[in-house]
Amino acid sequence: MRTLSSPSLKSMNWFGVILFFLMFWFSASLLMDFVIMPGLFVTGMMSQPDFSTAGYSLFWVFNRLELVCVALVLTGLLVTHQARTDHTVMDSGIRSRWAIELALGLLAIVLAFTYALTPAMGALGVSLNAFEPATLPSGMNQLHLLYFGLEGLKLLGCGLLLKLYFHDLQVSGEA
């Protein structure tokens, strides 16, 4: 117990943790949205009968990775917000309450992806008759539209968090 409360232990650099996982999450989302999924579409894999299962497996892993990233970003934001002193005035940076509210919104989007949209799209795309040709179910376009709308909001939110982060670096560099 004495080791845990020792002031000589170096604390974790939460600003670095926030930046690393936010950049990793943002770049992985861009890679998935603009390289992997269009590549699968162009090669014709989306018209294969078992693509729904493969797509669900791919997004199952990616959504869990997103949950880890958003959880670490939110934890880092809460720690840095709690660690600020009452005498510091923040000019809408990463320590502001807006950053925490934005991260909570991102958490809600990722939870919707993980537990609502991805399972619904996977279930809708499963072909129960192996002898029928693969066709896109009628409700899939609406789910794709909703998914990409939320994906756009997620990318916008990540970009805003990065802007707040770099705003803090500029303010601290001027001081």
What would the pLDDT profile of 143-165 be if each residue is shown by its tens digit? 989 999 999 999 999 999 999 88
pLDDT at residue number 126:
66
Q: What is the mean pLDDT of the chain?
A: 84
Contact 18, 94 (CB under 8 A): yes
Three-class secondary structure of residue 65 per DSSP? helix
Give the count of beta carbons closer than 10 Å to the beta carbon of residue 94: 28
Give 103 or 167, the one with higher predicted confidence. 103
pLDDT at residue number 55:
86
Could you tell me the residue ranges of all domains in the chain?
14-42+50-83+97-174
Give 90 or 41, the one with higher predicted confidence. 41
Cα separation, 14 vs 132, in Å, equals 53
Q: What is the dihedral of CA 77, 78, 82, 84, to 10 degrees?
A: 10
pLDDT at residue number 9:
42
Q: What percent of the chain has a predicted confidence (pLDDT) above 70? A: 79
pLDDT at residue number 86:
55
Cα separation, 54 vs 26, in Å, equals 23
Given a cut of 50, whether residue 8 has pLDDT beyond it is: no
What would the pLDDT profile of 85-126 be if each residue is shown by its tens digit? 655 555 567 778 889 999 999 999 999 999 999 999 888 876
pLDDT at residue number 36:
93
What would the pLDDT profile of 10-31 be if each residue is shown by its tens digit? 578 888 999 999 999 999 999 9
Per-residue pLDDT band at 47 (split at 50, 70, 90): confident
Given a cut of 60, whether residue 44 has pLDDT beyond it is: yes
- For the entire predicted model, the pTM comes to 0.84
